[in-house]
A and B are shown apart, each in its own frame.
Chain A
Amino acid sequence: MTRPPAIAIEGLVKAYAGQESPAVNGMSLVVPQGILFGLLGANGAGKSTTLALLCGLTGADSGTMEILGRRMSPAALAVKKLLGFVPQDIALYEHLTGRENLLFFARLYGVKRKQLQERVDFCLHLAGLVPRADQLVATYSGGMKRRLNLAVGLLHEPEILFLDEPTVGIDAQSRQLIHTQLQHLVGQGLTIIYTTHYMEEAEQLCTLVAIIDQGKILAMDTPQGLMAHHGCRNLEECFFLLTGKELRD
């Protein structure tokens, strides 16, 4: 029996009131399970809206979305159990400790009492925050907050993890730790959907990448496949070749 794809979307459209063109404009995409998939695009290309649709934060105007073979919508609570979402913002309580934040979100995810402590300890270890676990998040550095933000998304052992630019504005050490942990998690069978501006990072980490612009997928392949197909030396060259160099403010 074949495994359903992690994500299958067909003709997805989402428009916001007052905007000339849809943020997501007829997007179709299939992402297999167990890979690290990079969604690359300039500001306003439609990356965050695509993630918002896939995570059930908002509803689509038209088109279909399936997560692990199940229909996704904002009301699909059973499907939401299968996914973890790490927003671009540091979505944590500054006046709770790292451990208290993890306990709070784990309880909300419905992690069973017996596993609660184990999962919290695992996530603290994964984020490299065990020594600072009982200090307020307000006292953490930017990198520590980013790592904790990522750890929250893994508390309930999701099958798909959505990351919206998880390495923005952090030091090289924290970025390196996040990269290592993500590769480790993919090795264990987790599917990761990842948006980033950093082409070098995507080239190094992602199994498959899709370059999107104006709500449409312009190209999708492995990083090496894209470079070979377009005769580019790196992914950044491919990106500029496909999207142009005009500013996207």
Chain B
Amino acid sequence: MNRICTVAAKELLLLRRDLGGMLVLFLMPAVLVLIITLVQQNVMELTGEQRSRLLFIDEEQGDLGRAFQAALAEDSFLEILSWPPQRRKEALSAVQDGAYTACLILPAGTGKALRTNLEESLEGQSLAAEDEADPLPHLTVYFDPAMLPAFRSGVLGKVKMAFGQVEMAEKIDFLAAHLTRKLTALGIPASYLSAQELGLAGLNRQLLAVREQGEAISEVQPGVVQQNVPAWALFGIFFTVLPLGGALLRERQSGVWTRFMSMPFSPVALLCGKVVAYLLVCFLQFLLIYAIGNQFFPLLGLPAFSIEAAPVQVLFIVCAASLAACGYGLLLGVVCNSYEQVSMFGSISIVISAAMGGIMVPVYAMPAALQRLSVFSPLNWGLTAFHDVLIRDDSLWSPESGIFRLLLFFLCSIGLAWKMSRPRW
């Protein structure tokens, strides 16, 4: 045990004096998690998965505008900011610059034109719309030119639906008033002729619905933060293979391992000491990334990363992923014959494994062939384990769980490292 602690302390001391290694281990994942999360958050806004901020300029200043704004506000994906008509030019400029998703302008006289059209419809006259020189009263929508077409059509659909609701309400009110006038003329008392009595009041209710299946069961919703914090923490953890493999290789090349082999103890203690040191490094890495996700992200307007749902399970996952990374690092240190091989092969294999495993792009967004390959990526096993406990409320201890694959990977790689290294040592 003393020897394991001695080796671990030496590894940590050497690492502390290696500025480049420290940057790779701590700064790189911290920067990556920040940048990638912010970028993906922006992409989600562009694709409508986040609330869109719409400016609304009501030039009519009447009931129609108020009803329309209220209808829009019912949509949880839209945030409506009402600006006065005097700021029209400023609003269009802000949308053009990308500060807001769109600007909706309700022209003066829209309500009056709607009522005129209703009267003409009920009296069987042709509508103004049929005259191309005098189109229907309309709401004008200006979009941010950078909006993706699919997102633009999604927002436009929501605006049209809200506008349609308002139009329907106006029609019902107008029809009720029209019927009242006609029936009063026939001698029916006005007290019997409210919209309720006429049976029109309920027509504005929604009578058909669309229901989306596959909602998340847990309270924690998978968002960019829940995807990226564990993903980039795992990426950082697996990058410990570079300093670990490099350190072992340097010991082999400098003759230190030859000296160790002449000493009165098993080299297993040396391997264990290295694993203990880098396990600690991996936990520190995870703590750093967790602190960024939990404390710093909210300052940037992002949701906080939380492990409250399963803190102990998360620690087990970090431990298993760290062991897998250590095993792989030791294997590289034994197999490679130069530091260039360790750094090239190590970093390329981790980046490929990260790309394949859903660290950079979620697995569900990959082509089918790559999705099938993702099950071979140790980073995917770790990420799946995080998602299992934080999002899906699944058990960490099921036989097909990622944590067992990570532990098996550790045992296989360290066993292989030991077997392959013996003749050299």
Q: Which residues of A contact B (CB under 8 A)?
A: 55-57, 74, 77-78, 80-81, 83, 85, 87-93, 95-96, 100, 104-105, 107-110, 152, 162
CA distance A90 to B259 in the complex (A): 10
Tell me whether A92 and B254 are in contact (CB under 8 A).
yes
A138, closest chain B residue (CB): B17
| Among B6, B258, B262, B265: residue with most chain A CB under 10 A | B262
CA distance A83 to B18 in the complex (A): 33
| Among A56, A78, A87: residue with most chain B CB under 10 A | A87
CA distance A104 to B13 in the complex (A): 11
CA distance A107 to B262 in the complex (A): 15
B14, closest chain A residue (CB): A95
Within 8 A of A (CB), among B14-40: 14, 17-18
Tell me whether B255 and A89 are in contact (CB under 8 A).
yes
Tell me whether B10 and A89 are in contact (CB under 8 A).
no
CA distance A180 to B39 in the complex (A): 68
CA distance A87 to B266 in the complex (A): 19
Give the residues in chain B near A96, CB-CB below 8 Å.
10, 13-14
B302 CB to closest chain A CB (Å) equals: 39
Which of these, A95, A107, A162, contacts B17 with CB under 8 Å? Answer: A95
Q: List 30 A-B contacts (CB under 8 A).
A: A56-B262, A57-B258, A57-B262, A74-B261, A77-B264, A77-B265, A80-B262, A81-B264, A85-B258, A85-B259, A85-B262, A87-B255, A90-B254, A90-B255, A91-B255, A91-B256, A91-B259, A95-B18, A96-B13, A96-B14, A100-B10, A105-B259, A107-B3, A108-B3, A108-B6, A108-B7, A109-B264, A110-B3, A110-B264, A152-B259
Give the residues in chain A near B13, CB-CB below 8 Å.
96, 100
Contact count A vs B, C-beta below 8 Å: 68
B2 within 8 Å of A (CB atoms): yes
CA distance A55 to B264 in the complex (A): 10
Number of chain B residues whose Cβ lies closer than 8 Å to a Cβ of chain A: 22
A-B pairs, 9 with minimum CB distance: A89-B255, A91-B255, A85-B262, A80-B264, A55-B262, A81-B264, A107-B6, A87-B255, A91-B259
Q: A56-B262, A91-B259 are in contact. Are A107 and B254 (CB under 8 A)?
A: no
Give the residues in chain B near A89, CB-CB below 8 Å.
254-255, 258
Give the residues in chain B near A88, CB-CB below 8 Å.
255
A89, closest chain B residue (CB): B255
Give the residues in chain B near A77, CB-CB below 8 Å.
264-266
B263 within 8 Å of A (CB atoms): yes
Tell me whether B258 and A91 are in contact (CB under 8 A).
yes
Give the residues in chain B near A83, CB-CB below 8 Å.
262
Give the residues in chain A near B7, CB-CB below 8 Å.
108
Contact with A along B250-284 (1 / 0, CB 8 A): 00001110111111111000000000000000000
| Among B18, B256, B425: residue with most chain A CB under 10 A | B256
CA distance A46 to B352 in the complex (A): 45
Within 8 A of A (CB), among B226-254: 254
Give the residues in chain B near A108, CB-CB below 8 Å.
3, 6-7, 260, 263, 265
CA distance A89 to B260 in the complex (A): 13
Tell me whether B256 and A57 are in contact (CB under 8 A).
no
A120 CB to closest chain B CB (Å) equals: 14
Give the residues in chain B near A55, CB-CB below 8 Å.
261-262
Give the residues in chain B near A85, CB-CB below 8 Å.
258-259, 262
B423, closest chain A residue (CB): A58
A104, closest chain B residue (CB): B10
A184 CB to closest chain B CB (Å) equals: 23
A136, closest chain B residue (CB): B17
CA distance A81 to B265 in the complex (A): 9
Tell me whether A87 and B258 are in contact (CB under 8 A).
yes
Give the residues in chain B near A95, CB-CB below 8 Å.
14, 17-18
Give the residues in chain B near A110, CB-CB below 8 Å.
2-3, 264-265
B262, closest chain A residue (CB): A85
Tell me whether B261 and A57 are in contact (CB under 8 A).
yes
CA distance A109 to B259 in the complex (A): 11
B143 CB to closest chain A CB (Å) equals: 58
CA distance A87 to B262 in the complex (A): 10
A84 CB to closest chain B CB (Å) equals: 8
Give the residues in chain A near B3, CB-CB below 8 Å.
107-108, 110
A231 CB to closest chain B CB (Å) equals: 39
CA distance A95 to B15 in the complex (A): 10
Give the residues in chain A near B263, CB-CB below 8 Å.
80, 108-109
CA distance A92 to B260 in the complex (A): 11
List 6 other contacts, CB 8 Å, given A57-B258, A78-B264, A91-B259: A55-B261, A77-B264, A92-B254, A104-B6, A108-B3, A109-B264
B257, closest chain A residue (CB): A91
Give the residues in chain B near A78, CB-CB below 8 Å.
264
CA distance A83 to B255 in the complex (A): 17
Which of these, B256, B264, B266, contacts A93 with CB under 8 Å? Answer: B256
CA distance A93 to B14 in the complex (A): 9
B167 CB to closest chain A CB (Å) equals: 76
B237 CB to closest chain A CB (Å) equals: 24
Give the residues in chain B near A87, CB-CB below 8 Å.
255, 258-259
CA distance A89 to B257 in the complex (A): 11
CA distance A162 to B265 in the complex (A): 18
B2, closest chain A residue (CB): A107
A59 CB to closest chain B CB (Å) equals: 10
A113, closest chain B residue (CB): B2
A80, closest chain B residue (CB): B264
Give the residues in chain B near A100, CB-CB below 8 Å.
10, 13
A111 CB to closest chain B CB (Å) equals: 11
Give the residues in chain A near B266, CB-CB below 8 Å.
77
A87 CB to closest chain B CB (Å) equals: 4
CA distance A55 to B257 in the complex (A): 13
Q: A104-B6, A107-B6 are in contact. Are A91 and B254 (CB under 8 A)?
A: yes
